[in-house]
Structure 1
Amino acid sequence: MTHADMWEGDLLQDDPPEEPRLTVVPARPDGLLPEDFWSSRPILQHIRGYAHAAGCSGDVLMHSCLARLSGMLPHNIQALSGIGGRASLNLFVATVGGPGAGKSTGASLNRGLLPSKDPEFRDGLPVGSGEGIAEAFMGTVEEETGEVRRSRGGAETPVMRRVRKQVRHNAFFYIDEGQILAKLGERSGSTLGETLRRAAVGETLGQTNASEERTRYIEAGTYSLGLLIGFQPATALPVLADSSTGTPQRFLWGWAEDPAIPDVPPASPGPLPDLDCLRSRWDPLDITFPQRVREMLWRERVLRNRGELHVPELDGHAGLIKVKVSALLALLDGRYVVAEADWELAEVMWESSCAVRDSLLARAHREAEAAKEQQEEAKLKAELRAHQAKNDDDDTVQRIAIRAREFARKGSGQTLGAFRKSLASRDRPHAVRAIDRAEAEGWVFMEDGCLCFKT
């Protein structure tokens, strides 16, 4: 064996070279908060770091943190933006992702990131009805009736009575699966949708009933409420489709996924430092805004009310949402005055929210088009089957008509019953139509109930 043969044999025995591996980078969905947002402030980096330390989406925790904070604030902290008086900071957020995407994890992390020291704070309540939302703030207390009870010794004791009234001012609600919201709203007589829309802007909640135990009254401006809902893409679409009621416009939307979660978990930065805005206060406190923002909001309001500015239906609450978000961002940063930078960050969150919302609407459009195509294809197939069946049926009738001609050719006196018996069972239902066809062709005629050959 030559050296060349040995070299060639070695080549044949060696393993073939490995093909280069392709790294598949998942597409980044439109609507994720950009890196510039996170790097703009230490506290935002803190929130994202806390989420990543638990393998959770930074976007989810950011959105849920703002909603939770809005429910924990003293109710007399409100925004004064120059339009519509004092505005509630109640914030509703919706996070969207598939099963197991970490929507509920973000809600539970919230409690560790932003713990509450208020024993009366209603934390993470489920939503079952509009009445239940108002009930979260209700309780029973004893009040003096104005009457006194005298003892034998002459001592006077005020007569007390138990009264149901508002006893709490703070609540955070969480719905793990948004489909429940749509189902609850479909119930006959449900007040859930209306209650949520009122709660989003801090309006009066509750209802008056004949019985005192069923009466609930939560006055406007006397409560703080945050709401977090987790949606799968398909379950979010019915809520977005309900834009005529004004419900989806009241939500800030965000994705539950986060491509920036690191492979190795970073150290957790721990809970947020105590926020000054969460301490109890009795006097009203107004969050103020830059003059430019106030003028812009006023100008938009005037143009809309004059009918000179058309705003898409789903953007109807854009200004109010940005007012709430910028105020909450300022409070997170320890300030009671909204800066231009707060407003810019709020605009980033709003633009991201719109991108998430528009992606869902685009998906709905694609699914509707696909469903329409399937319906059209199914209709076409049905028509083809019907046409083919008609052709097959015509062929069958023609074949039996020829058989009727041959049957009649055998001689007169051939009855219809005899002809039918001569056919295979599958052909017998077509016997009468076949004879009609044979008559039309001029092959046979009927006389006295008998099939006769026409010569």
Structure 2
Amino acid sequence: MTSLPTDAAGSDLDAARYGAERADQISDTYTVPVFPVAANGKTPATRHGFHDAVTGTERIHALFDQHGLACAGNIGAPVTAGRLVLDFDLPAAGKWGRGTTDDHIAAVQRVEQVIDHMYQAGLLALPSWVIRTASGGFHIWQAIPDGTDSDRWPGKISIDGYALIDLRKPGKHYVLMPGSVMHGRNEDTGDTWTGEYTEILGPGTGVPLAAAPTKLIEFLDNYRKPTTPRPAAGLPPTITTAGGQDQARAVAAISALVAKLATTGRGQRHDRLIKWGKSAFQTAIYYGLDLDQVEAQLRAAAISNGYAADDGETAMNTDIADARRFAEQDGGRPLEDRPYNGTAIGPDSTTFVYADPAADTNTAHDAGGPPVAGRIGGNIDVRPLEGDFWTCRPQSLGLIHAAAVARMCSPWGVFGHVAARTLADVPPHCELPDLIGRGSLNFIAALAASSSGGKSASGHVAANLTGPLGAKEAGLGSGEGFLDAYRQPADPTSEPPAPQWRESVLFDVDEIDQLAALNNRTGSTSKSVIRTAFSGGTIAFGYRGRTEDVLKAGTYRACITVGVQPARAGALFDDAGGGTPQRFAWFPAADPRVSISHADSEQRALAQPPRRGAFPGGHYRPGHPQHIKIPEAAREAVLLAAEARGRGEVAALDGHALFVRLKLAYAIAVLDGRPDRISADDWRLSGIAATVSAATRDWVLEGLNEARHADAEQVGNTRGRQQFAADATRAALADAAHQRVAEKVLRYLGDTGELTTTELNRKLSSRDKPHLPRVLDALGEAERIERVEKRWRLKK
């Protein structure tokens, strides 16, 4: 949207028409009423301000005609019910019209830093509507629940010591909309300047309005203006303990961290005070240490490194208060189960690792082992697993990454949707080799994140990248509804009229609750249909009295995307015995690299998919499947895995892992323009995607278990927790290593049924094996498991 051209203001009527057309477009795009605002300002041109805002083409034109030239200025919109706008303003010295360009850039970077921190802390849902203001700040729109009492919220909040965040609340405030323009002369340099309200992300770029996180609502409900107490005089008190090796290790870890913080130089003091402060508080919470004493230690370190003197006591105390609040919100976390070796123990933002804090590590690694996923702000961080996945193919995978980051979405979430859309357009006669069974390319992707984590937005980005599909796009209903999605009008020329079937459907389940609701219906077949569709088997519902309602094996393509919140994933994992979650490729729909500083509105598109004739076998021929060529390494891996399954050496949740990986490899090959074969490098890259999938699935399962434990603890009906609280063996299981191994043992037995000690030992990593005998004894004493002859099983 642009400002008014100079030749458009030839008359009041011309100006009114031009302004009305822009306003009508804004009203329709953003679903808001609009009103005229005085040119080069923010003052409403109407008598009653934003209360005069209207919708509808005729009413908008009438209002703007009434105000003539005034309506050729800026366009305002009231914040309507169910919406909240966070206005991130710039300090006066950093706005356009004041200071230098460097001042402005520094101010914008500071605001972006605050926004990123709020996102990582779960206080903002992104991607959402983001408007860059004329002065260089940001308006971030969030949807809030109906009936939310926003009147008691503050008008302004402070985050990280940054107090220029205004709340534009429904029924109370209005904002200027894209296309509104400000201009003037810089008070300091004398240069002229022009700034325009510009949509970075929003309905114009296909990004939906995101629902505000629950954490943000709770934060605003309980917000208290930061106070500025003076730092304690003299040396801070030491952290006292009630004794015990664990508390001593915790104090050593915090003390080493504080010592490093005290020597941190400019440019990192703010970030590290919040990040390491949160970690110190989480350690103290977990091990029962005095939080006020930890706070005093952090304050002393911030005074020692000069932060309080340079940035002020208010900034220092606000950062410490934020660190403590974030720690209390996320809860305590234990240290890694490794003896303290005298080096500094540096926790990162959420996961404690034994390393030098100065390295500012983002993820945890086992010494000498492969990289592992980390945790940031409650979400999984899979960056250590990615290798060169996003960089080795700039025109396909690299483009997916660039588009995702530009739209503030998870690259893996977008990749999951793109893979599903790519495979949905592959003819159903194209199959993987029948190494074990039918090699259908039907595909299911689970996009996992907390509520408002970007699952839907990832789908929008993927649709923009791939363009229209040949496949039909539909929601997933019951099992019978699955079949109906393929039905087309019968052929009237046949006698009797023959049923006609679509070849391909891309199903989308926005929230896993939809699948759970379907499954809870009496006689529901939705999960069994999903399992059959994954393998490309025959789907029929003859009991409906229509024996012709049959999708024959190998004649249809089905791809499914499912949004999953970890706490609600029971609908999938409760069916692990049936094999439902094993058939999914799992990808995170939230990502720590999401940053407003990377957002842009540039449209990107992948290369056009191969034409149908380019696929093996050309057009479909019933009964003549065409097999994709695969590398020898893939063939060998599939056969070896089949042998391992026969010996019972494959974990239950990994039963279909290589089949899913082969499908991902083919999607990667098609994206690279090779629909006839999977190359060795495609197979290698699919291994990275499969590793990310396994890590994401395990993270979702952990989140589900945590949610269930929390629910059980709340109602007080978890027998195991009651026994642990009363039993002396809790002391052993409370130790981090034993707790970790105990959870694995219970999970393995729950998945498999019965295992010998040798079989359990084989499943554990080398660092966990020494703890197994003690854990088995403790679980047996707690009556969680029992031994029958030589095999362990869960005790009923």
Q: Which amino acid aligns with 1:317?
A: H
Check the 8 A contact 2:417/2:459 in 1, yes or no.
yes
Q: Shift in Å at residue 273 of structure 1?
A: 0.9
2:701 is aligned to 361
- CA shift, 1:203, in A, is 0.7
Alignment map for 1:17-416 (pairs within 5 Å): 18-19=312-313, 27-28=375-376, 29-31=380-382, 34=386, 36-42=388-394, 43-80=396-433, 83-84=435-436, 86-116=438-468, 118=470, 121-123=471-473, 125-142=474-491, 144=493, 161-166=496-501, 168-209=502-543, 211-212=545-546, 215-262=548-595, 263-266=597-600, 268=602, 270-276=604-610, 278=612, 281-282=618-619, 284-305=625-646, 308-335=647-674, 336-371=676-711, 373-374=713-714, 375=716
CA displacement at 1:191 relative to structure 2: 1.3
1:329: Cα distance to partner? 0.9
Q: CA deviation at 1:99?
A: 2.2
| Cα distance in structure 1, aligned partners of 2:404 and 2:713 | 42
State the secondary structure of the residue aligned to 2:569: helix
Shift of 1:353: 1.4
For the residue of structure 1 that corresponds to 2:533, the secondary structure is helix
Partner deviation per Cα, 1:400-443 (whole Å, 9 max, x = no partner) = xxxxxxxxxxxxxxxxxxxxxxxxxxxxxxxxxxxxxxxxxxxx
1:36 alignment partner, SS class:
coil
CA distance in 2, matches of 1:198, 1:162: 28
Question: In structure 1, what is the Cα distance between the partners aligned to 2:565 and 2:469?
Answer: 32
**Farther off after superposition, 233-242 or 274-283:** 274-283
Between the two structures, name the one with larger relative contact order (CA 8 Å, sep ≥ 6): 1
Letter in 2 for 1:338: I
The 3-state SS of whatever aligns with 1:174 is strand
How far has the Cα of 1:144 moved from its partner?
Answer: 4.9
Tell me the distance in 2 between the aligned counterparts of 1:234 and 1:260: 23
Distance in 1 (alpha carbons) for counterparts of 2:717 and 2:491: 68
Alpha-carbon offset, residue 162 of structure 1: 2.6
Distance 1:127 1:377 in 2: 35
Partner-residue secondary structure (3-state), 2:562: strand
Would the alpha carbon gap of residues 211 and 99 (structure 1) be closer, same or farther in structure 2, given more than 3 Å must change? Answer: same
Q: CA deviation at 1:248?
A: 0.7
Q: Aligned with 1:67: secondary structure? A: helix
SS of 2:511's partner is coil
Change (3 A) 1:368 1:194: closer
Contact 2:511 2:564 in 1 (8 A): yes
Partner of 1:259: helix, strand, or coil?
A: coil
Residue 94 of structure 1: how far off its partner (Å): 0.7
TM-score (norm 1): 0.69
What secondary structure sits across from 1:73 in the alignment? coil
Distance 1:111 1:368, change over 3 A: closer
- Cα distance in 1 for partners of 2:634, 2:702 equals 31
Cα distance in 2, alignment partners of residues 303 and 230 from structure 1: 32
Letter in 1 for 2:669: A
CA shift, 1:117, in A, is: 5.3
Contact kept in structure 2, 1:59 and 1:254, CA below 8 Å: yes
**Closer, same or farther: CA 268–85 of 1 in aligned 2, 3 Å:** farther
Q: What number of residue pairs does the alignment pair up?
A: 344
- Once residues 100 and 64 of structure 1 are traced to their aligned partners in structure 2, the CA distance between those partners, rounded to angstroms, is 17
Preserved CA contact (<8 Å) 2:447 2:589: yes
What SS does the aligned partner of 2:408 have?
A: coil
2:539 partner letter: L
CA 1:334–1:137 in structure 2 vs 1: closer, same or farther (change >3 Å)?
Answer: same
Give unmatched runs, 5+ long, in structure 1.
1-14, 146-159, 381-455
Check whether the contact 2:425–2:469 (CA below 8 A) recurs between aligned residues: no
| Matches of 2:533 and 2:718, distance apart in 1 | 46
Q: Match for 1:83: what amino acid? A: L
Deviation for aligned residue 1:35: 5.4
SS of 1:288's equivalent?
coil
| Structure 1 Cα separation of the partners of residues 602 and 497 of structure 2 | 48
CA contact (8 A) 2:410 2:590 kept: yes
Change in Cα spacing, 1:236 to 1:370, as seen in structure 2 (3 Å) is: closer
Once the two structures are TM-superposed, the CA of residue 209 in structure 1 deviates from its matched residue by 4.0
Contact 1:198 1:204 in 2 (8 A): yes
Give the whole-Å Cα distance in 2 for the aligned partners of 1:248 and 1:377.
25
Corresponding letter in the other structure for 1:190:
S
Aligned-pair CA distance for 1:265: 1.7
The TM-score with structure 2 as length reference comes to 0.40
Aligned-residue offset at 1:296: 2.4
Give yes or no for contact 1:89–1:328 (8 Å, CA) kept in 2.
no
Please say if residues 86 and 286 of structure 1, whose CA atoms lie closer than 8 Å, have aligned partners that are also in contact: no
In structure 1, C-alpha distance between the alignment counterparts of 2:613 and 2:600, rounded to whole Å: 31
CA contact (8 A) 2:533 2:558 kept: yes
> 1: distance between equivalents of 2:537 and 2:641?
23
Q: Retained in 2: the 8 A contact 1:31–1:354?
A: no
CA separation of 1:140 and 1:260: change in aligned 2, threshold 3 A: same
Q: Which secondary structure state, in structure 1, belongs to the residue aligned with residue 389 of structure 2? A: helix
Deviations 1:114-134 (A, max 9, x none): 12353xx212x1111111111
CA distance in 2, matches of 1:376, 1:240: 21
Which structure has the larger Rg over C-alpha atoms?
1
Segment drifting more, 255-264 vs 312-321: 255-264
Partner of 1:410: none
RMSD: 2.8
Cα gap change, 1:139 to 1:366, in 2 (>3 Å): closer
Equivalent residue letter for 2:429: N
Q: Which amino acid aligns with 1:129?
A: S
| SS of 1:69 mapped into structure 2 | helix
Instruction: Report deviation, 1:302.
Output: 3.1
Query: C-alpha separation between the residues in 1 aligned to 2:503 and 2:449?
Result: 31
Q: Distance in 1 between matches of 2:419 and 2:707?
A: 32
